[in-house]
């Protein structure tokens, strides 16, 4: 291998920042192919259109399901008139050529069957290798070694495309390199023609089959790996050697397909099942990585994801080309591909420059690092500085803890004041009769004293909002007390007047006057403060509403062919229904997500939309083939009692049920799987309707019992009609048997 001396070693040490790598998002491109000859012959309509260089739009005059986006934006979008050369130059060239700089790179092709993945990857591979050899010719100062290997994953079996037999290869875990393929052949390339020869061998060895959608459908995943090692020629043969080593992977995935569209049976059906299962695992891994590196990511559920683990959020720059068919008959598969692409563009990778050092160069670098650390240890006085810094931090912590305790006390005091104000305002609104004014006056005098104390305490640093409410409440009490004093003096004067010949009407007038005067007190309060008591009530209610803590949980299931399935689960495991003595019927092992915000719920709803069973019938191109039940559970409790023993929580759920539609097989033209789904849907809807009829019929029967004679007559009529129908049916059978025997006699 090539080597580098001290000069280049120093240069490498200056590149350590680049060697540590940097994070970047996966590059996601979308390529929309034109309509094929078969699709044009069937008069298919193109529903997808590239409106600019980054956005693809769904155009369809038919009504679409709500909640599905019509426009999708990615790093690059290429229409049917764009060549593969243009896709390479504008999209993947930069990432693919990172391999000559010592950075790993991977190019994916993902999409449904017959969407143009293999055609695209063949062109991308050819253009990349041509540019790599052109780069080698322009940099003669460096020595390059190119190695090539190729594998395919067919029915979850790894096979060497350059091997002479079909021996199954095992996957091993290497502590340095990660997952490797045991006994994989690796050819050292001589020139560009040698690589072309190996590519033709791989194309001949790969599993190809014919389906109704594609005459040359790829039945396996193909991974071509080109490894490039480079070093400076001037240091070749010396002891201190350092080499740049990186690989570029060209991944041509098999296309996802539906057995009903591809008309797959036998071996083709088995291949399709393995392809869809591995692609489902890949989609699950991408979806989890798009949410962040939290929790377990199930790379080992599929050999495809296990081999490509470094490319999915690891040490590599990655580009994914999602290919689409514009035909209306493939709209659901196209949406699923775009959903995968939307998740993939949120995945982050951390590509690094891969430098392989010789033993002597590594020892020298480590010796310099040890010398630097020893120099730092000999520097006097670091321990004293650390001790002083620790003491300073401890003092800051104590100060912050003291401030926290004071703020907690002030918060508790402010909450108690707000509760008192709330009770006072409610009592003011409930008191509306004149004979209670004296009692309210005493209560308000006491409340006024409490409000004055609350104002003084609030001025010491409590909440500004509580202070405003307390001042407004105090002004309102003062105005009300002045009106109460006037009412008492007025009642005394009019009482004397009634003793000296006054009538009872004067007392009634005084009461009415008292009410109007009390209302005038409120008006004076409004004029004085600029706000009414209703506004204060609204502010206090807002404070009371914010004192509750809410927790929202979300779950979703679908009932498909009488099988209950979790729409948020990782697999299609059938869930059981259990009877709980308190909760009633519950779903066993049902996943329940705690919501963070509104965007989190939208994300879960999009997952449910993608997971739900959808099919095409003659009546509806996107017919729901299952019943969907979305449940949102809301739990709320007072914040002041959180974490305490005496806590009470309000818990309730709201269900959103989207039932599959009933259909007639003669109208929907259902056959095979669609007919089976329709039978299950109609049976469940019939049971639901029967339950509603029974619930409504119980009330009708109770009403009919009140006319007992009519019910008895109805029973006799129904019995007689049933007997008449039985007699007619027997007569028909007798007639048919007679005609059949007569026909046999005539034939004899």
* Alpha carbons 187 and 179: distance in angstroms, whole number: 20
Strands 142-154 and 157-160: antiparallel
Q: Write out the E strands in 59-177.
A: 71-73, 76-78, 105-111, 142-154, 157-160, 171-174
* Alpha carbons 389 and 474: distance in angstroms, whole number: 51
Cite the DSSP H helix spans in 91-191: 93-96, 117-138
Contact 302, 277 (CB under 8 A): yes
333 is in an annotated binding site: no
* Alpha carbons 185 and 169: distance in angstroms, whole number: 11
List Cα–Cα distances, 497 to 70, 91, 190, 437, in angstroms: 83, 100, 126, 22
Task: Name which of 356, 518, 488 is nearest 428 in CA terms.
Answer: 518
* Alpha carbons 287 and 303: distance in angstroms, whole number: 18
* Alpha carbons 477 and 472: distance in angstroms, whole number: 9
Contact 298, 284 (CB under 8 A): yes
Cite the DSSP H helix spans in 582-672: 598-611, 665-668
Element at 283 (helix H, strand E)? helix 267-290
242 is in an annotated binding site: no
User: Would you tell me how many other CB atoms lie within 10 Å of the CB of residue 250?
Assistant: 23
21 is in an annotated binding site: no
Task: Name which of 327, 324, 302 is nearest 312 in CA terms.
Answer: 302
* Alpha carbons 412 and 167: distance in angstroms, whole number: 74
Contact 224, 153 (CB under 8 A): no
Alpha-carbon torsion 571, 109, 24, 73, what sign? negative
313 is in an annotated binding site: no
* Alpha carbons 695 and 691: distance in angstroms, whole number: 6
Strands 627-638 and 649-658: antiparallel
Task: Name which of 534, 494, 528 is nearest 513 in CA terms.
Answer: 494
Contact 321, 88 (CB under 8 A): no
116 is in an annotated binding site: yes
Q: DSSP for 401-445?
A: HHHHHHHHHHHHHHHHHHHHHHHHHHHHHH---GGGHHHHHHHHH
Q: DSSP for 358-384?
A: -HHHHHHHHHHHHHHHHHHHHSSSHHH
* Alpha carbons 261 and 85: distance in angstroms, whole number: 32
Helix (H, G, I), strand (E, B) or coil at 576: coil
* Alpha carbons 15 and 741: distance in angstroms, whole number: 101
DSSP designation for 79: -
118 is in an annotated binding site: yes
Q: Return the structure tokens found at 447.
A: 């409340």
Q: What is the 3-state secondary structure (H, E, C) of 202-213?
A: HHHHCCEECCCC
Task: Name which of 233, 56, 242, 261 is nearest 142 in CA terms.
Answer: 233
* Alpha carbons 381 and 240: distance in angstroms, whole number: 38
What angle, 0 to 180 degrees and rounded to 10, lies between the N-to-C axes of helices 331-344 and 267-290? 40
User: Would you tell me how many other CB atoms lie within 10 Å of the CB of residue 494?
Assistant: 16
643 is in an annotated binding site: no
What's the distance, CA 414 to chain centroid? 40
* Alpha carbons 355 and 242: distance in angstroms, whole number: 7
111 is in an annotated binding site: yes
Cα end-to-end distance, the chain, whole Å: 98
Q: Which residue ranges make up the annotated binding site?
A: 111-118
Task: Summarize the annotated binding site for ATP as residue ranges.
Answer: 111-118
């Amino acid at each position: 291998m090539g080597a580098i001396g001290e000069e280049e070693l120093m240069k490498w040490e200056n590149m350590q920042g680049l060697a540590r790598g940097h994070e970047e998002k996966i590059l996601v491109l979308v390529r929309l192919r034109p309509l094929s000859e078969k699709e044009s012959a069937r008069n298919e309509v193109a529903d997808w259109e590239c409106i600019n260089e980054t956005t693809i739009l769904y155009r369809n005059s038919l009504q679409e399901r709500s909640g599905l986006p019509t426009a999708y934006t990615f790093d690059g979008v290429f229409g049917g008139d764009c060549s593969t050369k243009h896709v390479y130059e504008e999209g993947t060239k930069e990432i693919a050529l990172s391999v000559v700089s010592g950075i790993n790179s991977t190019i994916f092709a993902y999409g449904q069957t017959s969407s143009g993945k293999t055609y695209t990857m063949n062109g991308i591979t050819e253009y990349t290798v041509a540019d790599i050899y052109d780069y080698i010719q322009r940099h003669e100062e460096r020595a390059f070694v190119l190695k090539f290997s190729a594998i395919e994953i067919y029915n979850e079996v790894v096979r060497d495309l350059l091997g002479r037999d079909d021996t199954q290869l095992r996957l091993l875990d290497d502590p340095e390199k990660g997952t490797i393929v045991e006994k994989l052949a690796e050819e050292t390339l001589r020139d560009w023609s040698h690589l072309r020869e190996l590519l033709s061998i791989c194309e001949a060895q790969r599993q190809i089959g014919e389906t109704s959608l594609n005459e040359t459908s790829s039945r396996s995943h193909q991974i071509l790996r080109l490894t490039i090692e480079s070093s400076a020629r001037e240091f070749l043969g010396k002891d201190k050697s350092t080499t740049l080593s990186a690989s570029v992977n060209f991944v041509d995935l098999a296309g996802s397909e539906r057995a009903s569209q591809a008309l797959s049976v036998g071996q083709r059906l088995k291949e399709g099942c393995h392809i869809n299962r591995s692609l489902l695992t890949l989609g699950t891994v991408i979806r989890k990585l798009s949410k962040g590196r939290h929790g377990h990511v199930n790379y080992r559920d599929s050999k495809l994801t296990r081999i490509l683990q470094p490319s999915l959020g690891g040490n590599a720059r990655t580009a994914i080309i999602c290919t689409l068919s514009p035909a209306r008959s493939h709209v659901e598969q196209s949406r699923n591909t775009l959903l995968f692409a939307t998740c993939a563009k949120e995945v982050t990778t951390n590509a690094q420059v891969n430098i392989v050092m010789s033993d002597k160069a590594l020892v020298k670098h480590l010796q310099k690092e040890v010398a630097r650390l020893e120099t730092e240890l000999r520097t006097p006085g670091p321990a004293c500085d650390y001790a002083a810094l620790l003491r300073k931090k401890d003092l800051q912590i104590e100060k912050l803890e003291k401030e926290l305790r004071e703020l907690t006390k002030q918060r508790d005091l402010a909450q108690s004041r707000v509760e008192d104000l709330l009770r006072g305002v409610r009592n003011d609104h409930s008191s509306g009769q004149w004979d209670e004014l004296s009692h309210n006056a005493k209560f308000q005098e006491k409340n006024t004293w409490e409000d004055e104390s609350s104002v003084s305490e609030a001025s010491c640093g409590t909440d500004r909002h509580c202070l405003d409410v307390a001042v407004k409440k105090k002004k309102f009490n003062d105005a009300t007390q002045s009106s109460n004093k006037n009412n008492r003096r007025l009642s005394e004067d009019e009482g004397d007047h009634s003793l000296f010949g006054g009538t009872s009407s004067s007392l009634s007038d005084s009461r009415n006057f008292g009410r109007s005067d009390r209302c005038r007190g409120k008006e004076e309060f409004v004029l004085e403060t600029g706000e009414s008591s209703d506004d204060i009530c609204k502010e206090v209610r807002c404070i009371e509403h914010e004192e509750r803590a809410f927790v929202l949980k979300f779950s979703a299931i679908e009932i498909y062919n009488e099988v209950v399935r979790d729409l948020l689960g990782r697999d299609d495991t059938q869930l059981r229904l259990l009877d709980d003595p308190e909760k009633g019927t519950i779903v066993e092992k049902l996943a329940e997500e705690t919501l963070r915000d509104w965007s989190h719920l939208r994300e879960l709803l999009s997952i449910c939309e993608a997971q739900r069973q959808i099919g095409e019938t003659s009546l509806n191109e996107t017919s729901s083939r299952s019943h969907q039940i979305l449940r949102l559970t809301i739990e709320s409790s007072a914040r002041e009692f959180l974490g305490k023993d005496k806590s009470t929580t309000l818990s309730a759920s709201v269900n959103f049920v989207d039932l599959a539609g009933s259909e007639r097989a003669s109208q929907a033209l259902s056959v095979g799987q669609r007919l089976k789904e329709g039978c299950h849907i109609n049976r469940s809807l019939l049971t639901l309707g029967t339950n509603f009829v029974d619930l409504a019929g119980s009330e009708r029967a109770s009403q009919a019992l009140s006319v007992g004679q009519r019910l008895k007559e109805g029973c006799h009529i129904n019995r007689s009609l049933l007997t008449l129908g039985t007699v007619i049916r027997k007569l028909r059978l007798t007639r048919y048997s007679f005609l059949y025997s007569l026909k046999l006699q005539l034939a004899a």
